[in-house]
Homo-oligomer: A and B are copies of this chain.
Amino acid sequence: MSRSERLLTLIQALRRHRRPVTGAVLAEDLGISIRSLYRDIATLQAQGATIKGEAGVGYVLKPGYMLPPLMFSEEEIEAIVLGQRWVAERGDESLSKAARNALAKILSVLPPDLRDEAELSSLLVGPGEPLSVGDQELAQIRAAIRKERKLIITYSDKAGETTQRTTWPFAVGYFDRVRVVVAWCEMREGFRHFRTDRIHALEWIDTRYPRRRAQLLTEWRRSEGISGL
Partner-B contacts on A (CB < 8 A): 4, 12, 15, 47-50, 62-80, 82-87, 91, 94-95, 98-99, 101-102, 105-106, 109-111, 113-114, 116-120, 122-126, 128-129, 142, 145-146, 170-177, 180, 182, 213-214, 217-218, 229
Contact = CB atoms under 8 A, between A and B. Distances in A.
A49 B69 CA distance: 10
A11 B37 CA distance: 30
B68 A69 contact: yes
A171 B122 contact: yes
Query: What's the number of copies of this chain in the assembled complex?
Result: 2
A214 B117 CA distance: 8
B72 A105 contact: yes
B15 A174 contact: no
A103 B63 CA distance: 20
B48 A76 contact: no
Contacts of A67: 67, 69-72, 106, 109-110
